[in-house]
Amino acid sequence: VGSYEYDNKFFKYEGQWKNGKKHGTGKLTFQDGSYYEGTFVGGEITGFGTRYFAVSGCKYQGQFVKGEFHGKGRMLWPDGSIYEGQWENNRRQGFGVMKSVKENCMYKGSYVMNKRQGQGTMIYPLSCLKSLQSKGDRYDGDWLNDMRNGDGDMKFVDGTVYEGQFVDDSFNGEGVMRHCSGLMYRGLWFNGNPTVLPSRIVIITSTGKDCIEVVQGQPFNISIQCVDSNGTIIEADSGREIRISAGFKHLQAKKGTAIFDLIEEYEEKPMNTPYYPVLQYPLTDFLAEEEKAEEDLKEENDDTFDDQEPARSAEDDPKDTPSLEEGGEGKGETEGEGGEQPNTPGDRLPTAGEGTLERQNSIISIAETTISMAPEAVDTKDSRPLPPPVANKRTEKGLCEWTNIMLAPAPPRFPPFVAMDEEERKIRARQDKQVEAKRMKRLLPDERFARIGEYVLMIHDITSPPFMEQTLEPAFILVKHLRPKREKKPKEVKPKDIVSMATS
């Protein structure tokens, strides 16, 4: 054991010697403060030891062969970065684990000539390694020249997963991305982006028209396509979340009027469409048996309203109106004592024109009551919950379809309808009673369904977060809500026809 200071005074050795050479354990100190402390063999730094570099501040601890890092070792950098693994000729070679503060990541895998190459896993950021609850991005796959190259899986902290090919650290070639939004893209990639992507939504109609005609109370179907700028369906794109909704034209009102205040207080705000601004209108795919039973009952009531006169008391009938008995038909079996029987409302037919004014007034009264009800008078009806809206759907190979959807009954105090009813009252006040009676019977809204008129159907891409930071252009189409065609009723057989058939 001894110490030796070299003539150039740059090196100083303290330790074991053998045959005049450094051999065994010792410490070699450099003039700049660097040092090696460990084993020596035949005057060479060989075996296990610690090497400190004063200029860079790096510190290596591990195996040496003739002064170079060779074998298994650990390097610590001043910024806290650390590599632990295999070395060869002062380079990282073989399997190792590198925690890089500069790159904010951890790599665990194969090295060739100091670079990541072969199979390896990278996790980042480093903060995700501090606890089991923390999560980060993770890549498992092939590496070449310190970059992701070949086949690999990339899992992002938001849940997005890419499985496929990489070139120069980017998605390149065949690959599948399952986006955190639920969207899935399966196809070719180039420089980190899909080679084809849809840009807009197109609504498909069976007639090819730019509008849809729907009969009131009847469900309808809607199909859409996700296409690129050339109109080509992008089948590689699936799972995009699509919302369907409807709107009715937003009617402007004069400031200071009650309708203006109602519109201002309405929760929903107008939305712009290519046609005109609209207020959102409820759309549903809920078809309840209760609604069907209610519809059947209403149809029966409508038939009764059309075919029968309003009931009148006997005192309202003119005394000189002839009855069936007075006309001599069916007289024998209906006569009481004295050959006469008092008339009752059900035993007589009105003459032409009889009761016309009363019926007109009755229709107008019903219409006025229905349309001009005070809010408190319709609370019971308006309090009935609206049917559930149509659920959003996911695309499948660029396609999506909704079946059996309907325009729902209007929500309470729907501003456009309130404005229309107000305008209707003004028109009605200026019209002749007889004309109005017929018109009101035709225009009286059926509150079970959406009103007759024009609506706008809107299709939006609401995929969140947007895939590749792009949202598809929405699609719009007009829906013309038509009045059902009235079925022709069988010709009514009159009493005189029965008598003539019997005599023949």
pLDDT, position 152: 98
Residues 382-411 have a mean pLDDT of 87
Would you say residue 177 has pLDDT above 60? yes
Would you say residue 315 has pLDDT above 70? no
Domain ranges, ordered by start, for the chain = 201-302+356-482
pLDDT, position 56: 95
Residues 20-44 have a mean pLDDT of 94
Would you say residue 387 has pLDDT above 60? yes
pLDDT, position 110: 98
Confidence band for 431, pLDDT divided at 50, 70 and 90: low
Confidence band for 192, pLDDT divided at 50, 70 and 90: very high
pLDDT, position 496: 60
pLDDT in tens, 120-159: 999 999 887 777 667 889 999 999 999 999 999 999 999 9
pLDDT, position 28: 95
Would you say residue 78 has pLDDT above 90? yes
pTM metric for this prediction: 0.70
Which tokens is 1 given?
């054991």
Higher pLDDT, 305 or 262: 262
Query: How far is the C-alpha of 170 from the C-alpha of 236, rounded, in Å?
Result: 19
State the average pLDDT for the chain.
79
Residue 435: which region, alpha, beta or left (left: phi > 0; alpha: psi -120 to 50)?
alpha
Would you say residue 46 has pLDDT above 90? yes
Residues 174-182 have a mean pLDDT of 97
Locate all alpha helices (DSSP H) within 11-116, ordered by sequence.
Answer: none
pLDDT in tens, 460-477: 999 999 999 999 999 999
pLDDT, position 494: 60
Query: How far is the C-alpha of 51 from the C-alpha of 90, rounded, in Å?
Result: 12
pLDDT, position 309: 43
pLDDT in tens, 288-297: 544 554 555 4
Would you say residue 51 has pLDDT above 60? yes
pLDDT, position 442: 55
| Residues 186/176, Cβ–Cβ less than 8 Å | yes
Angle between helices 258-265 and 415-429 (to 10 degrees): 170
pLDDT, position 415: 72
Rounded to the nearest 10°, the torsion over CA 134, 136, 141, 143 is -120
pLDDT, position 250: 82
Containing 357, the helix (H) or strand (E) segment is helix 356-371
pLDDT, position 370: 40
Buried-exposed string 317-339: b where 16+ CB fall within 10 A, e elsewhere: beeeeebbbeeeeeeeeeeeeee
pLDDT in tens, 90-125: 999 999 999 999 999 999 999 999 999 999 999 999
**Whole-number CA gyration radius for the chain:** 44
Query: How far is the C-alpha of 23 from the C-alpha of 5, rounded, in Å?
Result: 16
Would you say residue 480 has pLDDT above 70? yes
Higher pLDDT, 385 or 439: 385
pLDDT, position 501: 56
pLDDT, position 262: 62
Buried-exposed string 206-218: b where 16+ CB fall within 10 A, e elsewhere: eeeeeebebebee
Query: How far is the C-alpha of 422 from the C-alpha of 242, rounded, in Å?
Result: 37
pLDDT in tens, 322-380: 333 333 333 434 334 444 444 433 343 333 334 433 444 443 333 343 444 334 334 44
Q: What is the DSSP pairing of strand 68-76 with strand 82-88?
A: antiparallel
Residue type, 95: F
